[in-house]
Amino acid sequence: MSQATTWQEAVIVRIEQRTARMRSYFLRAPLARHVAGQHVDVRLTAPDGYQAQRSYSIASAPGTSDLELTIELAIELLDDGEVSGYFHDVAQVGDTIEVRGPLGGHFIWDAAHTGPLLLVAGGSGVVPLVSIARAWADAGAPGPVLLLHSARQWEGLAFREALAGIGAAHAGFSYVTTITRGHAPDGYARRLDKAMLDEVLAQWGHMPALCYVCGANGFVEAAAQLLVAAGVAPRAVRTERYGG
């Protein structure tokens, strides 16, 4: 059995609030070095033996060592989520959970991809794209990147400050936001549509060689169709979908 499919003990070493309903949990675990865009499985076991398991994308950039890595999982609280509920209501620094991974071989990016890169996120779907953006910055910013992030409200744009910081530090990184409810201090204030995508791509000045789209099913389906209609080759569009 490979290390990636073996359950390992992970210790929560830090917790940070990202939005009203999302927190980052930093876990120290003996996992192999991940590739940007991958995820891990998390398993919780109750005293009576009942187990619950979910998959969570890794937000951190790949580490530099395969020993005792600290990875960041950004977990959104779901109304009926027993695992996310545990993290938000029970988990504390010092607690131990079980994880396995890193997992996933399609929705990944490494520095070998130097062409223009477009990242499109719906809500919490930004998490694996944050890992890609961080890995891109750590790799010396090869090629231009545009990250387009849609959320319901301005306060729900998780990692907004971190992503704006990458843009401030690297001229090749563009960060564009849109919200569907409430007031936006900047960016767009409507759903992603053809006119918005055409305008954003025109301002960016590049046709993406590779696109990563992550979010709820409906958002991913609509965004992927818009990208193909804009002239992006279907094979260049990689998607990852969450339920809902």
> Looking at 103, 130, 159, which one is the last position of a domain?
103
Residue 244: the pLDDT is: 45
Rounded to whole angstroms, the Cα distance separating 152 from 150 reads: 7
Rounded to whole angstroms, the Cα distance separating 98 from 70 reads: 14
In-domain check, residue 182: yes
Residue 228's CB is within 10 A of a number of other CB atoms, namely 14
Distance of CA 239 to the CA centre of its chain: 12
Nearest to 110 by CA among 3, 221, 212, 214: 212
In-domain check, residue 111: no
Q: 27 lies in which domain range?
A: 3-103
CATH code for the domain of 148: 3.40.50.80
Q: Which two tokens stand for residue 98?
A: 């079980």
- Whether 129 and 21 map to the same domain: the answer is no
In-domain check, residue 109: no
Q: What is the pLDDT of residues 168-187, one digit of tens each?
A: 999 999 999 999 999 889 99
- Whether 155 and 231 map to the same domain: the answer is yes
Nearest to 38 by CA among 222, 228, 225, 212: 212
**What pTM did the predictor assign?**
0.95
In-domain check, residue 112: no
Q: Taking a C-beta distance cutoff of 8 angstroms, is the pair 126, 216 a contact?
A: no
Q: What is the pLDDT of residues 19-37, one digit of tens each?
A: 999 999 999 999 989 999 9
> Looking at 68, 103, 138, which one is the last position of a domain?
103
- Whether 197 and 221 map to the same domain: the answer is yes
Q: Average of pLDDT values for 64-76?
A: 77
Q: Considering its fold, how many domains does the chain have in total?
A: 2
Rounded to whole angstroms, the Cα distance separating 182 from 179 reads: 7
Q: Which two tokens stand for residue 149?
A: 């992030």
How would residue 2 be classed by pLDDT, with cut points 50, 70 and 90? low
In-domain check, residue 71: yes
- Strand order, beta sheet including 173-179: 173-179, 145-151, 117-122, 210-216, 237-242
More confident residue, 69 or 110: 110
- Whether 83 and 164 map to the same domain: the answer is no
